[in-house]
Amino acid sequence: MRVGISVMAAAVCGLSALCPARGLASDRPAIVGYVFPRNTILAPGQIDAQSLTRINYAFANTKNGQLANGTAADAQNFASLVALKKANPSLTILISVGGWLGSGDFSDIALTEQSRTTFINSVMDFLHRYELDGLDIDWEYPGMPGAGHAYRAEDGQDFTLLLKELRRRFTQEEKVTGRRLYLTIAAGASDAYLAHTEMRQVQRYVDDVNLMAYDYNEAPSNGLTGHHAPLFIDPNAPNKQSADASVRAFELAGVPAKKLILGVPFYGRSWQGVNSEDHGLFQPGKPAAQDFIPFNVIEGTMLGHGFTRYWDASASAPYLYSEDQKIFVSYEDPESLSAKCKYVLTHRLGGVMFWEYSNDPNGVLLGTITRTLRTSKLGAH
C-alpha cells in the first residue's frame, strides 16, 4: 500500500527484523475505512470492497487484559468482511481496539512485560480465530485522562514497548505462516499527543499512523464556532490547528510521510445561538441539540433545507449556516475532501482514513476519495 520506505524511515528503522516488512507496496495510496456496526449485522452489499484497501473494524473490547469481542454481532460481521476479499484480494481486515470510551484498560495492559504478553497472546488467538489481517490500536490517549480512564506518566514509554513486542510477535508469526500481519495505530492530531508518546520510536514498529485530523473544534469544548477539520489554518481562526499543521508536526516528530494516513470525518459538528456575522464563522455559540451530524443527514436534511453552504478558501473548508435557526455546521464535503486527497498525493502521504463508513451510505464522500486518489499515482502533482 505504499512505495518502498522513505529515507527518514530507513535511517531510523535500519535493518532490524522488528521493522514492518518491505517489498509489498503498491503505487496507490491506502484508502482505510473504519466500520462501526454498533452491534448490528452488516447487510450484504453494505460495504463497497472495491473502493477500500483496508477496513478497520471498530471496536474490540479488552477484558481481564485480553482482547475480546465488542458485541454479539462481531463474529458474523468478521466472516462477512473476510468474504469481501474474494472480490478484492488486496483488501485487508484489521480489528481496532480502543476508542474514546474503550481505552480505559490500555495503561494497565502496557504496564509490565507480563501484562503485555497476556494481551499479545490474546491478540494472536483473536486474529487466528477470525482470520483477520492485523490490529489497529486506538489508545485515546497515552499519559492523558481521555474519557476519565486511568493513566500514568510512563504510558508513552509503555506504549512503545507494547508496539515493539507486538511487532516482534507478528514478525515471528509471518515467518511461520508466510502471511503478512499489519499493525497500525490511530493517533490524536495534537501537540499533547506528541508530547506524551515516542513517535520516532513508535513509527519503527507500525505499518501506518492513522492521523485523526478532525474534531479540532467542538461546541462542548469551544464556545466559538470554527472548522472542525480544516486542511489549512484560516488566519482569522482563534484555533490555530489544521490537518496540514498536524501532518507537519508528526513528520517533525519522526514519522515518515508514507506512514501517515490522513484522517477525514464523514460527519459534521454544530453550534446553535450563533449570530449572522460572517455567516456564523468564528462567532460565539453553544452546543446544538445534535452536535454530531452524519454526512448523509447533512446532505439529506440541511443542504437546500434552510441552510446555506459557504466556502472558506484559506482553510479549504466548507460550512453551513441557517440565519433563521442561528445554527452553524462545520463538515467535510466533496470539494474539501478532493483538496485533501490532492494534498495526500502532493505530500506523498500514505493515504486517507475516514471515520466512519455508515455516515456516508450513498458513497458520496468515498466516491470522491477513490476518484481523486486513483486517477494519480502516489506523489503525483
pLDDT in tens, 20-31: 643 334 568 999
Closest CA to 106 of 141, 56, 58: 141
Output the pLDDT for position 13: 45
Helix (H) or strand (E) holding 345: helix 334-346
By mean pLDDT, which of 8-12, 224-228, 348-352 is the weakest?
8-12
Angle at 302 between CA 301 and CA 307, to 5 degrees: 150
Output the pLDDT for position 18: 62
Cell numbers given for 49: 470492497
- Quote the percentage of the chain above a pLDDT of 70: 91
Over residues 246-263, the pLDDT tens digits come to: 999 999 999 999 999 999
Which residue out of 131, 140, 251, 299 is catalytically annotated? 140
> Buried b vs exposed e over 242-256: b needs ≥16 C-beta within 10 Å?
bbbbbbebbbebbbb
Taking the alpha carbons of 206, 25, 171, 85 in that order, is the dihedral positive or negative?
positive
Over residues 55-84, the pLDDT tens digits come to: 999 999 999 999 999 999 999 999 999 999
| pLDDT tier for residue 376 given thresholds of 50, 70 and 90 | low
Output the pLDDT for position 8: 33
Taking the alpha carbons of 203, 366, 233, 268 in that order, is the dihedral positive or negative?
negative
Domain ranges of the chain: 7-266+332-373
Over residues 331-361, the pLDDT tens digits come to: 999 999 999 999 999 999 999 999 999 999 9
Span between the terminal Cα atoms of the chain, in Å: 19
Output the pLDDT for position 27: 66
Q: What are phi and psi of 312, to 5 degrees?
A: -95, 100
Q: How far apart are CA 94 and CA 278, in angstroms?
A: 43
Output the pLDDT for position 5: 28
Output the pLDDT for position 11: 35
Over residues 120-134, the pLDDT tens digits come to: 999 999 999 999 999
Output the pLDDT for position 227: 98
The verdict on whether 332 is a catalytic residue reads: no
347, 364, 308, 332: CA torsion to nearest 10: -30
Closest CA to 207 of 47, 351, 355: 351
Output the pLDDT for position 4: 30
Q: Tell me which DSSP letter residue 224 carries.
A: B
Output the pLDDT for position 375: 81
Output the pLDDT for position 377: 54
Helices 243-252 and 334-346, packing angle to 10 deg: 20
Backbone conformation region of residue 59, classed left if phi is above 0, alpha if psi is from -120 to 50, else beta: beta
Query: For the residues 175-196, what does the mean pLDDT come to?
Result: 97
Taking the alpha carbons of 204, 205, 206, 211 in that order, is the dihedral positive or negative?
negative
Question: Mean pLDDT of all residues in the chain?
Answer: 93
The listed CATH number (3.50.50.60, 3.20.20.80, 3.40.50.10680, 3.40.50.20) that belongs to domain 7-266+332-373: 3.20.20.80
The contacts of residue 306 (CB under 8 Å, 6+ apart) are: 322, 324, 325
Q: What is the DSSP string of 282-342?
A: T-B-EEEEEEEEEHHHHHHHTBTTTBEEEEETTTTEEEEEETTTTEEEE---HHHHHHHHH
